[in-house]
A = this chain, B = another copy of it.
Amino acid sequence: MAGRTVREEQVSATRELILTAAERLFAERGVLAVSNRQVSEAAGQGNNAAVGYHFGTKADLVRAIARKHQVRVESIRARLLAGARGSTDVRDWVDCLVRPVLEHLAELGSPTWFARFCAQVMTDPVLQQIMVEESMTSPSLQQIVEGLNRCLPELPADVRAERGEMARHLIVHMAADRERALADNTPTPRASWHDAATGLGDVVVAMWTAPVTPTGA
């Protein structure tokens, strides 16, 4: 079982080809604007049904792309999490939240398409659920939430949930913006993914620690 057979190598190469082609087309033209046929062709598969064979429906393909990246993001997050264990500094936990995704994008090299893909999927009424399922299963994310809770014990639960959503939106869409700018050769506010993560971290820390104006409840 140790050595993959030639056959298995080829199949997994084909799958990878499809995943990469789909990710690029989805990011550039829109997930729903691209047909499975176009993906198959872009992946060099003469078969117009290659996507259907290997993945099933388009939602399944989207899930496969998300999962592929999530694995790598998760491992980066686990590494950062090890360094933050026990910390009472909000910044440490925010870094665990912010850096994994951007660091992953940096590792992918240029150009990337994953951030734009994520931004689309997360705003689509039907695909959104897929993304939530794939990302919320992460146990390390739960640890980060708990770490932040310990740093900010007096923050109301509602506000905590609200600001968690905000952080998620900020990370995903700012990464997508930067990715788009890189693809278009448009100037970016930050020179590198690492610097972008720093700028994002500054803001997310401020966000979590912001005073809460009481509302007429």
Chain B residues closer than 8 Å to A210, beta-carbon distance:
202-203, 205-206
- Quick one: which of B27, B125, B158, B217 contacts A29, CB cutoff 8 A? B125
Q: Tell me, rounded to whole Å, the shortest Cβ–Cβ distance linking A172 to chain B.
A: 9
Chain A stretch 183-217: residues in CB contact (< 8 A) with chain B: 189-191, 194-195, 198-199, 201-203, 205-207, 209-213, 215-217
Of A1-9, A60-68, A79-87, A159-167, the segment with at least 4 beta carbons within 8 Å of chain B is A159-167
Q: Tell me, rounded to whole Å, the shortest Cβ–Cβ distance linking A48 to chain B.
A: 21
Number of interface residues of A (CB under 8 A): 49
- Cβ-defined contact, A215 with B191, below 8 A: yes
Q: Which residue of chain B has its CB nearest to the CB of A214?
A: B198
Query: Quick check: is A116 within 8 A (CB to CB) of the other chain?
Result: yes
Copies of this chain, count: 2
Of A96-104, A133-141, A143-151, A173-181, the segment with at least 4 beta carbons within 8 Å of chain B is A173-181
Chain A stretch 77-136: residues in CB contact (< 8 A) with chain B: 116, 119-120, 122-126
Docked CA distance A102–B200 (Å): 24
Q: Which residue of chain B has its CB nearest to the CB of A168?
A: B173
- Cβ-defined contact, B120 with A116, below 8 A: no
Chain B residues closer than 8 Å to A162, beta-carbon distance:
174, 189-190, 199
Docked CA distance A205–B213 (Å): 12
Query: Quick check: is A28 within 8 A (CB to CB) of the other chain?
Result: yes
Most buried by B among A162, A165, A190: A162
- Quick one: which of B120, B170, B212 contacts A169, CB cutoff 8 A? B170
Query: Quick check: is A71 within 8 A (CB to CB) of the other chain?
Result: no
- Cβ-defined contact, A159 with B189, below 8 A: yes
- Cβ-defined contact, A163 with B203, below 8 A: yes
Known: A29-B125, A199-B213. 16 other contacts (CB 8 A): A28-B125, A30-B32, A33-B126, A116-B125, A125-B180, A159-B199, A162-B174, A169-B169, A194-B215, A195-B215, A195-B217, A199-B212, A202-B211, A202-B212, A203-B210, A205-B210
